[in-house]
Amino acid sequence: MDDDQFDTTVPPSGDGCVECLATPDGWWFHLRRCAKCGHVGCCDSSPSQHGSKHALATGHRVAQSFEPGEDWFWDYFADDYVDGYELPPPHWHPLSQPTPGPAGRVPRDWQDKLH
């Protein structure tokens, strides 16, 4: 793994998927944090898969789980787990935020809408 896929000075962009939050009906299942720029996107099980789209659009291939208690890194290009570096906190979204999220936007039949 190339070390320049990591920036250990950049905090996460926010509490939820950047693109989903910017869309009126956007919602996610799990969250991923870009190891390079801090972009928080949604996982590949989510309807919009903004995490992997971010990787493809930017070349930022490594993301860390942004889920409570998880610290693994994923390389979207290698399609595999990789070792990473300690990134600035917070290490996951607020515990007050539901999974899936965000609160109030998740459709009742969300399980049928996962990838």
Asked whether position 40 contacts Zn ion by CB under 5 A, the answer is: no
Asked whether position 42 contacts Zn ion by CB under 5 A, the answer is: yes
Kind of pairing between the strands at 62-65 and 40-42 = unpaired
CA distances from 34 to 5, 12, 24 (A): 9, 8, 23
Asked whether position 50 contacts Zn ion by CB under 5 A, the answer is: yes
When binding is defined by CB under 5 A, the residue of 5, 6, 16, 20 that contacts Zn ion is 20
CA 95 to CA 46: how far, in whole Å?
19
Asked whether position 43 contacts Zn ion by CB under 5 A, the answer is: no
Asked whether position 93 contacts Zn ion by CB under 5 A, the answer is: no
Per-residue binding letters, 59-78, with Zn ion (x by CB under 5 A): -x------------------
Residues in the chain: 115
Contact between 93 and 30 (Cβ < 8 Å): no
Q: Binding residues for Zn ion, per CB under 5 A? A: 17, 19-20, 28, 34, 36-37, 39, 42, 48, 50, 60
